[in-house]
Structure 1
Amino acid sequence: MSSQADYILTHFSEFNFVGKSIKTSNETAEVDIGNLWAQFQQKNWLDGVKNKADDKIIGIYYDYEGDFTKPYSFAIGCKVSSRDDSPEGLVALTIPSSNYAEFLSRGKMPDCIIDTWVDIWNSDIERNYTYDFEVYDLQSFDPENAHVEIFIAVK
């Protein structure tokens, strides 16, 4: 894989999100985020979420304390039409309208996601470090041939 990842520029309007969040950094993210995904698969806390906008699962990176080398928050959840009535223990966020670089990560999970992020970190993209997210649909959970969209907020 090249050090310059392929992407397209796109725009997302504001949307609401509800999910479970952790604080991590890239030093421990593989274990921390892996554990959060394991909890999600065991407990599926989205079952209790009302007002789901669709069936996609979203992983959101936010509350950056600097660039990708600093701590940040990560949450697994979904888009919702309203943040009202969010289950206890979950975070409710409003993701502001923004421009994004859209990457398509393909291959074996979770390696394809990690490889795409390494390409992003090594690229010259001018990131905002506000809200970045991964979108998972049915194609995303094929362990040998996953397809995951990754959106990076850009200037």
Structure 2
Amino acid sequence: MAAILHRHSAKLTPSSQVYGVYTHYESDVTGEFDVYACTDLQVTSSEIEQTTLATGNYLRFSGKGAMPQTVIDVWGQVWQYFSNEQCPHIRAYKTDYEFYKNSDEVEVFISVE
């Protein structure tokens, strides 16, 4: 899946899609990486930067409830899943992202090999 997301300070609307993007992993979860808050809004400004989600396979984890606790809980699910010795997947550490479906629902997509 490849998508171009825009990082900027535009005013969001109720239909805006909001993402958190984790990219440029130095190594793994212990190394440094970049985190961006993004939206799908098209805006003309010199402050806009684009981020492209890496193509490949992703696992989806999701949760619904009060924020920010729900997104914290979903990341807990991610860490628990990948720390299990019988985990059938290996994290790719390319691009991971959060998609905020609405004010109380989030999906976290983790890139896997």
Equivalent residue pairs, number: 105
How large is the RMSD of aligned CA atoms in angstroms? 2.3
Q: Structure 1 residue 79: deviation in Å? A: 3.2
Does structure 2 conserve the Cα–Cα contact (< 8 Å) formed by 1:17 and 1:92?
yes
Q: Give TM-score scaled by structure 2 length.
A: 0.77
Does structure 1 conserve the Cα–Cα contact (< 8 Å) formed by 2:62 and 2:105?
yes
1:19 and 2:2 equivalent?
A: no
Q: Give TM-score scaled by structure 1 length.
A: 0.58
Unaligned runs of 5+ in 1: 1-12, 21-44, 49-53
Instruction: Select the residue among 34, 40, 54 that pairs with 1:79.
Output: 40
Does structure 2 conserve the Cα–Cα contact (< 8 Å) formed by 1:86 and 1:92?
no
**Identity, % of aligned positions:** 26
Q: 1:128 aligns to what?
A: 92
Unaligned runs of 5+ in 2: 83-88
Does structure 1 conserve the Cα–Cα contact (< 8 Å) formed by 2:54 and 2:94?
no
Runs of 4+ in 1 over 4 A off after TM superposition: none
Q: Structure 1 residue 96: deviation in Å? A: 2.9
Does structure 2 conserve the Cα–Cα contact (< 8 Å) formed by 1:46 and 1:77?
no
Does structure 2 conserve the Cα–Cα contact (< 8 Å) formed by 1:62 and 1:132?
yes
Q: Structure 1 residue 65: deviation in Å? A: 1.2
Q: 2:63 aligns to what?
A: 105
SS of 2:90's partner is coil
Q: 2:21 aligns to what?
A: 60
Give the residue type in structure 2 aligned to 1:91.
E
1:92 and 2:50 equivalent?
A: yes
Does structure 1 conserve the Cα–Cα contact (< 8 Å) formed by 2:61 and 2:77?
no
